[in-house]
Amino acid sequence: MHAVIGSFAMDRARLELQRRELEAVIMPMVKELPGFLQGYWSYEPGDSQAYSYIAFETEAQAQRLLEVVRANAVHQAGSGVAVGWLKIVEVWGQARGGQTGT
């Protein structure tokens, strides 16, 4: 399992628009990508940064999302979002509701 992790600078004046686009466009698109397992999108109001963690079955599938995000930079800028950094990482384990495993 591999995940795309990233940070994004968010324009505070456009947070409502950004959240609508996340829920109406980004999350549904990501859910349809081959190999998608789970994703988390978060926001830190103190520094106006958003963080994402999106897991896929394979590294190649994670790489595809990374390419989509980078190719979409112009639209992101128009919505007040700037990519800080993106990385693909290998997931070594997970824990949910008292369960552990990989």
Is the four-CA dihedral 2, 63, 12, 40 of positive or negative sign?
Answer: negative
CATH of the domain at 81: 3.30.70.100
In a domain, 100, yes or no: no
* Mean pLDDT value across residues 43-64: 97
Number of domains in the chain: 1
5 has which bridge partners? 53, 87
Does residue 72 form part of some domain?
Answer: yes
pTM over 0.75: yes
Where are the extended beta strands (E) located within 1-102? 2-10, 36-44, 49-56, 81-90, 94-96, 99-101
Specify the pLDDT at position 100: 65
Mean pLDDT for 71-93 is 94
- Mean of per-residue pLDDT scores for the chain: 94
